[in-house]
Structures are given as structure tokens and as C-alpha cells.
Structure 1
Amino acid sequence: MPNPLRLGVIGAGLKAADYARSWVKMPEVAFVASADVGVQSRRRLADICTAAGKPEPREFDDFRDMLAACRDEMDAVYVSTPHAFHAEQAIAVVEAGLDLLLEKPMVTTVPEAEQLVAAQRKSGATVVIAFQGGLSPLVLDTQRRARAGEFGALVNVGATIFEGWKESYNGHWKQQPEISGGGFMFDTGAHMMNTICLLADSDFERVSAYMNNRGKPVDITCAVSARLKSGALCTFTAAGEGPPGCASYMTLFFSEAIIRIDAWGGWREISMPGVSAIRETAETLDNPMKTFLAIRAGELENSSTVENGLRFAQLWDGIKASAAQDGDSILIEAARIEPQSGVR
């Protein structure tokens, strides 16, 4: 078999540890190094490796030191840190010529997204954003069929997501605005926004938004009305306070079909004239490394790209700007980087 992917990890927290327990069993992956400010997190990752009979990865408390010392020993890096750190770390990885599997959301602002897109295009590195919806077979099939014109023109989108996020993440870094980049809408709600960015297949033109922090330092609820450049209208509702549970319900109204799908691409219903809607289900992605490896090998098209991350960032910056002005309508400026083929 081919040589394993030599992997570095930036951010060895609980998410990385969860993935590492399965990745360490894959002969296609070899952990080389980890960087985390927490010794306990690095040690946990090392213990996962040794428990599987694999060598301990080298440990660093600064990702820059890891990239400098291990650049020639690695093929790719997985980044799983608080959202506000993604841009600097991702750009450094790509500028080092390494491929990148980056946790979602990609970055926190449009300028950061533009810098990462430019760095990726200059280096040619493979960059995959680990959104379940962005890599879901049901989402990708829906996008393909919509682009082929099977459903007609997109007319309207209604998207809702909810979770008992306010209490379940109480005291967590996700509720610290200086490192989270936002609250519920930017965390769990990112899945909703990202999947709609893919399926709507158009940049956003104008947005109006309201947020309520519900006593927290970050937004807990958010309501958004938007217009796409295609002319379709879109509404987002995000409720981060309520009973336990987490779910989304998104409806895309096309001129010839109505499609209901969830943000993670776990289920889909298609209603068309003369056809009864049947719920299709698919296992949501629990191991993005398999998809990342297939994309690197050229076996799959990369459907979770930095370009879609830029579209997402434009929407998010518009939402923040409008909410800060009590719902004033915000015109979303065009990206300063032209889209490449395959990104509309």
C-alpha cells in the first residue's frame, strides 16, 4: 500500500482526541507531531497513539515551532482550535506547502477568508473544511441535480436550527467572544449557513439580521432575512436556548420542486409534481479523514472548499454588521478574489 499520510495536529483538544482514536487505527495515517498550549491535551494524544502501538508524536506548545521543526516530516495538518485562531494557523500551514484539514467554521471574517484563499491558490495545497454537510452525499447530490436544472430555479429558502446550546456550553470557550468569533449562530448555526451557501449556489447580495444574547456575552438567538444575487430570498432562524436536543429543518423552494434537508446532510425529502416525498437518510460524516484522503488522492472532488468558506464569511460579516445596527439592511460587497471554475 502507499506510504501513510504523515499528519501533524494543531489543537489537540477533545475533538482532535475523538478523531485520533479512529485515525490511529487507520494504516493510511501516521501521527508525526502535535501543537497545543495545553500539556494535558498533547499528552492525551500521545497516549492514544501509544495505546494503539504507534510512536508518540513530537510535542510543541507553539504551532509555529512545529511547522518549522517538522515541515519536511509532514504531508498534512489537521487544525482543531478555537475559531478565532483558524486563520493564522491555516494560512501558516498552507504557506508551508502542507495540505490542510480544517475544522469548521473556516475563519471568522472576510479579510481572513480572502487571505486563506490567496494562500491556497498560491501554494496549490489541498484544503478541506470539515463540515459534515459540505461533505454529505445527500447535499452533494442535491447540489449536482440543482445545477443540472432538474428542480428549476431557486425561489426561496427557509432554514432553522436549534440546540440547548446556552446551557450545554456554559463557561466553554465557545461563549468567549474574543476566541469564538460569535455565538450560537456562528457555532452550530455555521452548519446551516454553510449548507445553504452550497445549495443556493449563489453569493448573498443583501442581509438584515437581529441577535439576542439572552444574558450571555455572545449571541444565543438570531433571525436573518437575506437576498441572494440570484434573486432568491432566504431566511435563517437560530435558537440556542431550549430543551436538550439539536436539529435543523431547511426547505429550499424551487420552481419545480421543494427540497427539505437538514444542515448536516443526514436526511432529505424531495417533493415534485406527481412524486410523493420520501425521506432519504445517510450516515452523517464521523470520520472526515477518509474523505480528506480520497480528495488528496484525486478520487473525490473537493466539495468543501476555501471558496465556499469565503462565501460563508461574506454572509457572516453581513449578519454581524446588520445586527450591530439593529437590523439595518447591509449590502454585501463582492469578494476581492474572483471565483474559480466550479465555484459559482
Structure 2
Amino acid sequence: MSSKLRLGVIGAGLKAAEYAQSWAAMPEITFVALADVTEASRQRLVDIVTATGAPAPRCFTDYREMLSACRDEMDAIYISTPHAFHAEQATAVAEAGLDIFLEKPMVTTVAEAETLIAAQKKSGVLIVTAFQGGLSPLVLDTCKRAEAGEFGELIAIAGTIWESWASNYAGHWKQQPAISGGGFMFDTGAHMMNTVCMLANSDFDRVSAYMNNRGTAVDIVTAVSARLKNGALATLTAAGEGPPGCASHLTFFYSKAIVRIDAWGGWREISLEGKPGTREEAEILGNPMKNFLAIRAGLLENSGSVEMGLRFARLWDAIKQSAASDGQSVFIDAA
């Protein structure tokens, strides 16, 4: 096996180009091939790679052709395509026996999650979903301390996330339901849902939700009231229309502590035993490939596992189902 990670890319859009600026300069990475339907996107990524003095990766318009032609030359694939394509592409990569670094959210439905999990179990490949919060040191530390019982019993969760998303992405694929898989709650709001799923350390039991599209084709505002299987209660609000900006506040109420944290893991405040907490800050990950390499080497636990992706998908399916029935409570069978 090569000492470098031989990387392939499916989806050479803006996020892949952003990451490639740092990945191409990493001595641990070599870009082997990339696939994208748009010539300009392919060329942009090639230019970023070759600017470091590295050879140009092979280019394909169809990811299946890339897998067929370059399968034995690659170790892992980074997938950065519109949400609705993740399941098909990741399943194909898993069946090809290659590790996967997958942009969030993992998939769009429970059925897709179960199909991907089956492919992953059969092939034994590593799959990591690239949530910044899921890879954040502050979030991971909070998870460990909560699981160790330091904070006591989880009582309730209150989460909010907001962004001027409706105007920021007007006309973008993120507001096209056929390929986006949802609107603001499933895009930016996915960071809130994933971090809540991680820190709650429990599947959801019942969910009631409302959505407002605000005149668009996808949800812009979502309100959720839920009960978790561990007995905790939760409220989640996502507001995708408003003044410029993007932020989140998640509050976890425990019997011994109150933990406030950012969905991306950028800051945290812990009030323990009634004593006020101080704000800790951490840089939101700009290069999650380092975490992927550490997970692949067995140095870090995989916090972006397919099992966590399934928990997320169960919550998202229940939110959609409840909102479609005007807030009717939906029971989640996580057996």
C-alpha cells in the first residue's frame, strides 16, 4: 500500500475546491482521479492540484467510469455532490471496496441509510461523514464527559440555528427539492440535528414538527418538539430567513450541569453544579481530512459513522412525516 492516501473525488464543486486548497499541499495526500459533470469544475480542481507541483488527476464525467478505470489506483473517495446523490454514489464506492469521506448529510432517508450500511458491512470499508461538529474536539470531549456521567442525567435539549439562507441560496441546487433532499433544516440545520444526535446519545422516540416554505419549493423555517428514548425532551428551531449571518445555540440541560455549545463545535460553556461556566473556543475545522486520516489510522473514534447517520436519518424522516401531516406526532421505531 502507498504511504500516501490515494484519493479520488466525486463532485468537484465549490466545497471540494475549498478543501483541495489545503489537501493538495498535504504530503499525506495524492489526488488520483476526479469525476464531475461540469468541465469548469473539473478544470478548477485540476488547477488547484497542479499548482502545488503535483501531477494532474485523471478526469471523468461519470463517477462509475472513474471507479471502473481507477479502482486499483485509489484508497479512498471524497464525495461532495448534491445531497440526493450521496446514497447511490457512496453505496457504489463501498461496493468497490474503497473508504469514503462523505459530505454531510450522509443520506436523505432511512431506506438509503440502511442500504449504505448493508454495503459497508459487506465490504468492511470505512465511511466517515464530514460534519464539522461531529469532528470537533469540543463536541467529542462533551460526548465523553456526558457518557462518563459527569453531567448527570440528560433532562432536556433546546436547539436553535439560523441563517440568511433563503436569500443566500436563491436559485441554488440547495433549493431544488429533487436533488437537495430538503431545505434549510436539512442543509444548515443538519449540523444542529447531527450534534444533538451525538450529544443526546439516544435515538428519538416521538417527533412533532411544522415547516414553512415561505414561498419557496423547500422548507425555510422548521419547528420540532420531540421526546427521546432516554426520556429527555427536545425542541429544535431552524430559521432560514432573516438578516445576514449564520449562528446556532444548543443547550443541554442535565441534572448536574447545563452545557451550551455551537452546532459546529466552535464554542462551549459548561455550568456545573450551579457554578457559571466560561466560554471555551475552538477553531471550526477547516481541514477535516486530518481527522479522516486519524480515524483511518485508528487514532480517533469514528464519530461520523454510518450508525450515527442512521440515527440522523430516522429523525429527519420523522420530521418530514410529521410536518406533512400538520404536526401529527410520529413514533420512531429504531428496533
Tell me the TM-score normalised to structure 1 length. 0.96
Runs of 4+ in 1 over 3 A off after TM superposition: none
Corresponding position of 2:326: 326
Look up the match of 2:73: 73
Distance 2:232 2:166 in 1: 32
- Please tell me whether residue 169 in structure 1 is matched to residue 135 in structure 2: no
Secondary structure, aligned partner of 2:26? coil
1: CA distance between counterparts of 2:116 and 2:197?
18
Match of 1:86 in 2: 86
User: Which digits, 9 at most, give the CA deviation of each residue in 1:7-33, with x for residues without a partner?
Assistant: 000000010011111101001000000
1:299 shift after superposition: 1.3
Deviations 1:206-236 (A, max 9, x none): 1000000001100000000010000100000
Q: Distance in 2 between matches of 1:276 and 1:231?
A: 26
Amino acid in structure 2 at the alignment position of 1:332: I
CA RMSD of aligned residues (A): 0.8
Amino acid across the alignment from 1:326? D
Q: Which residue in the other structure is 1:339 paired with? A: none
Partner of 1:116: 116
Shift of 1:302: 1.0
Once structures 1 and 2 are overlaid, which stretch shifts more, 320-329 or 270-279? 270-279
Where structure 1 has 5 or more consecutive residues not aligned to the other structure, the ranges are 336-344
- Residue deviations 1:78-119 (CA, integer Å, cap 9, x gap): 000000000000011111110000000000000000111121
**What SS is found at the alignment partner of 2:142?**
helix
Instruction: Please list every run of 5 or more consecutive structure 2 residues that lacks an aligned counterpart in the other structure.
Output: none
Deviation string for 1:265-306 (max 9, x for gaps)? 110001112532100111111101101111111111111111
d(CA) in 1 for partners of 2:160, 2:282: 20
- Residue in structure 2 matched with residue 340 of structure 1 by the alignment: none
1:239 and 2:218 matched: no
Mean Cα displacement is larger for which, 83-92 or 275-284? 275-284
Matching residue of 1:249:
249
**Offset, 1:192:** 0.1
**1:281-336 CA distance string (max 9 Å, x none):** 1111110110111111111111111100000000000000000000000011225x
Residue of structure 1 in register with 2:38 after alignment? 38
Q: Percent identity?
A: 72
* Deviations 1:129-180 (CA, angstroms, capped at 9, x unpaired): 0000000111111110111111111000000000000000000000000000
Deviations along 1:36-87, whole A, 9 cap, x unmatched?
A: 1111111111111111111111111111110011000000000000000000
For 1:78, the aligned partner's letter is Y
3-state secondary structure, aligned to 1:227: strand
Counting only pairs closer than 5 Å after superposition, residues 1-344 of structure 1 correspond to structure 2 as 3-335=3-335
Distance in 1, matches of 2:159 and 2:274, equals 25
How many angstroms apart in 2 are the aligned matches of 1:279 and 1:194? 22
Letter paired with 1:193: M
How far apart in 2 are the matches of 1:161 and 1:85? 25
Other-structure match for 1:338 = none
- Report the secondary structure of 1:179's partner residue: helix
Give the letter for the 1:297 counterpart.
A
Q: Could you tell me which amino acid in structure 2 is paired with residue 37 of structure 1?
A: V
CA distance in 2, matches of 1:85, 1:107: 8
What secondary structure, in the 3-state scheme, does the structure 1 residue paired with 2:263 have?
Answer: coil
Residues 310-319 or 271-280, more deviating:
271-280
2: distance between equivalents of 1:321 and 1:242? 26
Inter-partner Cα distance in structure 1 for 2:334 and 2:257:
30
Q: Which SS does the other structure have where 2:54 is aligned?
A: coil
Q: Secondary structure at the residue paired with 1:19?
A: helix
Letter in 2 for 1:324: A
Structure 2 CA distance, aligned partners of 1:194 and 1:295?
18
1:253-274 residue CA offsets vs partner (Å, 9 max, x unmatched): 0011100001001100011125
- Report SS of the residue matched to 2:227: strand
Q: Which moved more, 1:295-304 or 1:218-227?
A: 295-304
Does the 8 Å contact 2:257/2:274 carry over to 1?
no
Q: How many pairs align?
A: 334
TM-score normalised over the length of structure 2: 0.98
